[in-house]
A and B are shown apart, each in its own frame.
Chain A
Amino acid sequence: DVKVTQSSRYLVKRTGEKVFLECVQDMDHENMFWYRQDPGLGLRLIYFSYDVKMKEKGDIPEGYSVSREKKERFSLILESASTNQTSMYLCASSFLDGTEAFFGQGTRLTVV
């Protein structure tokens, strides 16, 4: 079975902190994605990566950065967390020409 693992289910951070959300997949997928999910807004793409060290901005990249140093790992970084970044964060991966995206279990981040 494909496994996409996010490092934390729940996270509470203070305003201004630097926050790292980690995602690891075990299926040698080329593509990895970070989405943010908010009620009424669905899933919005923050960043995606199609290869090691490659990244592309999604629809809402402001306030976020990403890192992909190894194929299996894709990190989302909140440089200086703010309360409006309180949300559910979902990582996903797929093959370059894959027909399906596989999701991690999600991280509920609260910034206080």
Chain B
Amino acid sequence: AQKITQTQPGMFVQEKEAVTLDCTYDTSDQSYGLFWYKQPSSGEMIFLIYQGSYDEQNATEGRYSLNFQKARKSANLVISASQLGDSAMYFCAMREREDTGNQFYFGTGTSLTVIP
């Protein structure tokens, strides 16, 4: 079974509008972490936001917020006031603790295009 599922291969959003990128996860652990990374066309992976499984409040970082719904096992990324520079691939990821240390699992990504 997939640990991380991103069901939107591609998304379009008008500049200055908000957009939600979907992510669901699968784990039986009580302690885990959820991340979003941005990958521009240059290829580097840029960390955006982190949510711990015990955090009661949704994480926010500037224009990024993580809509964490534990019971539904979802961790959607919300980008407010989209900018042209937000056009990129976005990956949802989960950290789980294994015997050999933390493991990170990634989804297949969502390609976001911001339209002027």
Contacts and interface: CB of A to CB of B under 8 A. Distances in A.
A105 interface: yes
Contact of B43 (A54, A56, A99, A108): A108
Interface residues of A, number: 31
A41 B109 CA distance: 8
B43 A40 contact: no
Interface residues of B, number: 27
Contacts, number: 64
Contacts of B109: 42
A56 B100 contact: yes
A88 B35 contact: no
Interface stretch (A65-73, A77-85, A90-98): A90-98
Interface string B1-27: 000101001000000000000000000
Interface of A: 9, 30-31, 33, 35, 40-43, 45, 48, 50, 54, 56, 88, 90, 92, 94-106, 108
